[in-house]
Amino acid sequence: MIILLLGSGGREHALAWKMLQSSKCTKLFVAPGNAGTATIASNVLINPTDFDAIKNFVLQEKVEMVVVGPEDPLVLGIYDFFKNDDNLFSIPVIGPSKEGAKLEGSKEYAKEFLIKHKIPTAAYDSFTAKTVENACKFLDTLSPPYVLKADGLAAGKGVVILNDLAAAKIELRNMLVHQKFGKASSKVVIEEFLDGIELSCFVLTDGKNYKILPTAKDYKRIGEGDTGLNTGGMGAVSPVPFADEILMEKIETRIVKPTIEGLQKDGIEYKGFVFIGLINVKGEPIVIEYNVRMGDPETEVVIPRIKSDLVELFLAVANEKLNEITLEIDQRSATTIMVVSGGYPEEFEKGKIISGFSAVKDSIVFHAGTKFENDTVVSNGGRVLTVTSYGNNFKEAIKKSYQNIEKLHFDKMYYRKDIGFDLL
């Protein structure tokens, strides 16, 4: 079958790599893709949010399935765009409907869904510019640290956690009144701080049935020891060693099941990934966020651990027959280390020549921000490459990734040398 994958990061390179292992995939297009996807599939210069251009391409190339990597096209309603178009309605889109994508597109919507379906989450209230004084009074009732979340999509920067009450009030005004994150912060969710260790649970659902995919933990801060600015993610480990059977049982019964049942009860069409961000508070899993897509770089460790045919899984999602598939998981650990441009997540340079790919042994290099320039791979973003390895445990896998990263080179490259430090 002819498949179009939307997106251009390490997540998409990993999804493309896995889909191409399926005998069911005869042709794979990636829009817009990167240098990594260009070497295994056909890149197409289309913006994932340009639905009319996607429509023309899909009809012209007789595409039979669309797999959506990033959240933007989902939040803008690509699922509904296909469903409501006379020429496209029979082509499955792997991703939720616009209503389902609100679980990521609006923090307030997600909180209301969680509360309604009695899924454990942090206590909260939400406010607008008009109710900013009430918001300040609400902060007075909480103890630090204070968690402020812009309601809408803010490129992963919309959550601010502050220890000082006065600073939290200033930040709150910046968000609500001075629109620090534009329209995304015209509403702010203030949430109880949860003290524990984070992990992510990934679920694939056809709206009725679900499969729990391997767990992963990512490392969001730029600096070692989880310090410095937030990034898209600097590395990931799967499985999460502390996610034992007891914790997974709690996650499934208290969180995954009620989430899928909640979608059904609310009549929300959802055929795609659910990424559930959790904090393990003394053995009790509590939801901090939903994303309606796979994580990046979590995909680069979760997908390599899936032994089952990914295209078959997607077909089962489209046909609401996920219950008929057995999910096979590789018991080994997988880890990935992200290599970024010096300066990221602030200012950085692009266009640096990357060398050393052929020296890499026993690891998979997934491209993130790269492109071809005169047949040479150059950097084209903040997060540039990610190196995934398998091992009998995560320490073994991490060691391999680091050995291979040393063979790769570009000017001002940087990576964290402590991924997994908190799991030892």
Contacting residues toward ligand GLY, per CB under 6 A: 218, 232-233, 291, 295-296, 298
Q: C-alpha distances in angstroms, 158 versus 197, 349, 371?
A: 20, 24, 29
Strands (E) across 80-220 are located at: 93-96, 124-128, 146-150, 159-162, 187-191, 197-205, 210-212, 217-218
What residues have CB less than 8 Å from 241, skipping those under 6 apart? Answer: 394, 423
Question: Which of 147, 213, 263, 268 lies at the binding interface for ligand AMP (CB under 6 A)?
Answer: 147
Interacting partner of 114 out of ligand GLY, ligand AMP, none (Cβ under 5 to 8 A depending on kind) = none
- What is the distance between the alpha carbons of residues 303 and 306, in angstroms, rounded to a whole number? 5
Span 216-235, contacts to ligand AMP by CB under 6 A? 220
Q: Which is nearer to ligand GLY, 207 or 233 (CB)?
A: 233
- What is the distance between the alpha carbons of residues 283 and 167, in angstroms, rounded to a whole number? 32
Span 255-284, contacts to ligand AMP by CB under 6 A? 277
Interacting partner of 298 out of ligand AMP, ligand GLY, none (Cβ under 5 to 8 A depending on kind) = ligand GLY
| 122 is an interface residue for ligand AMP by CB under 6 A | yes
- In angstroms, what is the minimal distance from the CB of 289 to ligand GLY? 8
Residue 307 DSSP one-character state: -
Nearest to 179 by CA among 152, 155, 156, 145: 152
| 287 is an interface residue for ligand AMP by CB under 6 A | no
Interacting partner of 289 out of ligand GLY, ligand AMP, none (Cβ under 5 to 8 A depending on kind) = ligand AMP
- In angstroms, what is the minimal distance from the CB of 71 to ligand GLY? 8
Question: Which of 193, 242, 402, 414 lies at the binding interface for ligand AMP (CB under 6 A)?
Answer: 193
- In angstroms, what is the minimal distance from the CB of 337 to ligand AMP? 19
| 190 is an interface residue for ligand AMP by CB under 6 A | no
Question: Which of 5, 101, 150, 194 lies at the binding interface for ligand AMP (CB under 6 A)?
Answer: 194
Angle at 363 between CA 357 and CA 367, to 5 degrees: 55
| 109 is an interface residue for ligand AMP by CB under 6 A | no
Contact 16, 294 (CB under 8 A): no
- What is the distance between the alpha carbons of residues 147 and 378, in angstroms, rounded to a whole number? 38
Angle at 412 between CA 408 and CA 414, to 5 degrees: 65
The tokens describing 216, both together, are 């992963």
| 289 is an interface residue for ligand AMP by CB under 6 A | yes
Residue whose tokens read 């030892």: 424
Nearest to 285 by CA among 274, 272, 276: 276
User: What is the enclosing helix (H) or strand (E) of 191?
Assistant: strand 187-191
User: What is the enclosing helix (H) or strand (E) of 17?
Assistant: helix 10-19
Nearest to 120 by CA among 290, 287, 291: 287
- In angstroms, what is the minimal distance from the CB of 11 to ligand GLY? 7
User: Quick one: which segment of 6-14, 189-197, 252-260, 300-308 binds ligand AMP (CB under 6 A)?
Assistant: 189-197
Interacting partner of 218 out of ligand GLY, ligand AMP, none (Cβ under 5 to 8 A depending on kind) = ligand GLY
Interacting partner of 125 out of ligand GLY, ligand AMP, none (Cβ under 5 to 8 A depending on kind) = none
Residue 252 DSSP one-character state: I
- In angstroms, what is the minimal distance from the CB of 361 to ligand GLY? 27
Give residues in contact with ligand AMP (CB under 6 A). 122, 147, 156, 159, 191, 193-194, 198, 220, 277, 288-289
